[in-house]
Structure 1
């Protein structure tokens, strides 16, 4: 099999070809958020927005380009650091500096959570759920990655595996679309690539040593992932692209994309790839970079192009896109606002 075939990404085909895009601010959706926000999440139906608000979680209805406040839930004992919605059940999962994970009911009028997982002795830095298996949660903290599965016989969550291979804090996790590959990175100058075995045991298949450690990485497809290095908690000049080369049986660095935000103070914020519009959302310094990926038939390679950069003038910045890729939702310390921008296509 030719290597070029493996390089071809599993990108979603688009019926309409367009030249470019821009996300424009919707003023009427701006919401004041003075409390510290370290996490945002929107559900699969794009109608419920969860906002980490210091120790609490605020819930909003997202409808007709309006945000309607639902309620605030107060159960964590420290800052909320991660928020994730399950894809099918719409349950919200929250992680915190209090070392716990809470799984909430999908009835967003209720303040009750279903389950509490006391998972680490240190706070939760990052968390991912399986792409289609709702019964798996993976979380990262100091040197440790923990895997939790829901045991249907016992009707409880069980910590089935712990990987302690990193030498310091783990800041980034990413799981691929098929749910059988996992990436991790932290401030020990290493990237781990793990694979799930038939018995649901995860094994480290490759360790990549990098010159500059990073707090952000994410899959673009099964063969390709993006890694954003940082320079001693400052933004870096480029986003690095790694590709799986079958003849080597390994991922290697194949490209780098120049991004905005270098030499600006930086903090954790994982890259997110949205297959609906093939856009990668990546933070660097004070800046959110929006990168469009296409497959070049002439060069037979995956190509990324920086299309839009938004400078928020502060390192304390978090952002997500809606599941359909139509809206960019952010919070930053400078404005202390939840801001929502809508995708505008340029033909």
Structure 2
């Protein structure tokens, strides 16, 4: 086991805006921030709220949409122009809906797909926005690709393509975490019964196949691919952070583990990993712990890069929150208050 090196006071943090929102009655509220840090989505019961940030990161509500109970949001990546202004929502009624920022003022969606039987709980994309992966309470993982009109889904809008369900993979257990690698050809998922499933896309048949089941000792708290091959696993007890990578026969094994001693938490920051800064942020009681992932040059070879993790900083927070999301550029943390009806934006400034 490796101890994490420490380097204090790498950046400063400050609350830059406190934004009152209408009183809410749920704790488990889906919330999502887009890549440009300009739009925030939040849903409670049958209402979807759309907020816009100004240059000072102050929120303004621009739309309220009556909608089936939303369980998850996800913005497309900005890299592909066709989808950079779109986002996806999943609902308790099992629908997956594609929305456009331009049509928000009219409360119109582009496409509605029916797939999962008992509600959609997780949605993610590959880096090129050509694949949607979803998981539901029906113990299934679905893979969606763009196809011509006439496939699965009800279309609303003028386009010759729509998202169609290409494949359904049954796992016979509730899925609670999903992550795609950089190339979008390998998927990891974690179930309630303490299994990590490794799923890979066949180069010949283009079918997704479960290639490995990894038994873990504790339930999952966080699971994330770092690159094409390596992924990290943080168990619920928060004591150690594990790095898994393929061995010589391409099976994933636990290669490195770091002592982090974060303690058990019920509120997680999600997303918790900024790929731009290669940085992780976890909660430890009333503190935020920041870790930097980098290559260990002494132990790395031409064929394999060895990773090390350095604790950058621990920041005390006095606010109780029930939901937190890290911006993709790693510059902001958006907190939804537990007992107060407000959204707090924390900014991180490098020293």
Alignment partner, residue 86 of structure 1: 76
- CA distance in structure 2 between the partners assigned to 1:312 and 1:168 by the alignment: 38
Alignment partner, residue 236 of structure 1: 238
Kindly state the Cα deviation for residue 254 of structure 1 after the two structures are TM-superposed.
Answer: 2.3
The two structures have a TM-score, normalised by structure 1, of 0.81
Q: Residue 70 and residue 126 in structure 1: after superposition, are their counterparts in 2 closer, same or farther (change >3 A)?
A: same
Alignment of 1:156-171 (within 5 A): 156-165=162-171, 167-171=172-176
- Give yes or no for contact 1:259–1:289 (8 Å, CA) kept in 2: no
- CA distance in structure 2 between the partners assigned to 1:336 and 1:106 by the alignment: 25
**2:155 is equivalent to residue 138 of structure 1:** no
**2:41 is equivalent to residue 50 of structure 1:** yes
Deviation digits for residues 136-190 of structure 1 (CA, Å, limit 9, x no counterpart) = 211112321111222135433322211112x421010111222111110121111
**2:225 is equivalent to residue 203 of structure 1:** no
Kindly state the Cα deviation for residue 228 of structure 1 after the two structures are TM-superposed.
Answer: 2.1
- Give yes or no for contact 1:273–1:279 (8 Å, CA) kept in 2: yes
Kindly state the Cα deviation for residue 201 of structure 1 after the two structures are TM-superposed.
Answer: 1.4
**2:63 is equivalent to residue 71 of structure 1:** yes
Q: Residue 81 and residue 261 in structure 1: after superposition, are their counterparts in 2 closer, same or farther (change >3 A)?
A: farther
Alignment partner, residue 274 of structure 1: 274
Deviation digits for residues 243-273 of structure 1 (CA, Å, limit 9, x no counterpart) = 233x241222123334454234x26765542
Alignment partner, residue 118 of structure 1: 114
Aligned length: 318
Larger deviation, residues 181-190 vs 61-70: 61-70
- CA distance in structure 2 between the partners assigned to 1:200 and 1:241 by the alignment: 28
- CA distance in structure 2 between the partners assigned to 1:244 and 1:318 by the alignment: 33
Alignment partner, residue 182 of structure 2: 177
- CA distance in structure 2 between the partners assigned to 1:342 and 1:141 by the alignment: 34
Deviation digits for residues 31-90 of structure 1 (CA, Å, limit 9, x no counterpart) = 4463235322222332212223333221122221222221111211x2x22111111422
**2:232 is equivalent to residue 226 of structure 1:** yes
- Give yes or no for contact 1:260–1:287 (8 Å, CA) kept in 2: no
The two structures have a TM-score, normalised by structure 2, of 0.81
Q: Which runs of 5+ in 1 are unaligned?
A: 1-17
- CA distance in structure 2 between the partners assigned to 1:93 and 1:310 by the alignment: 34
- CA distance in structure 1 between the partners assigned to 2:97 and 2:201 by the alignment: 25
RMSD: 2.7
Alignment of 1:10-29 (within 5 A): 20-26=10-16, 28-29=17-18
- CA distance in structure 1 between the partners assigned to 2:115 and 2:12 by the alignment: 40
**2:222 is equivalent to residue 216 of structure 1:** yes
- CA distance in structure 1 between the partners assigned to 2:208 and 2:201 by the alignment: 4
- CA distance in structure 1 between the partners assigned to 2:332 and 2:164 by the alignment: 36
Q: Which has the larger radius of gyration?
A: 2
- Give yes or no for contact 2:98–2:109 (8 Å, CA) kept in 1: yes
**2:95 is equivalent to residue 100 of structure 1:** yes
Deviation digits for residues 265-307 of structure 1 (CA, Å, limit 9, x no counterpart) = x267655422221112345777654321111213432112333
**2:143 is equivalent to residue 152 of structure 1:** no
Alignment partner, residue 5 of structure 2: none
- CA distance in structure 2 between the partners assigned to 1:310 and 1:152 by the alignment: 52
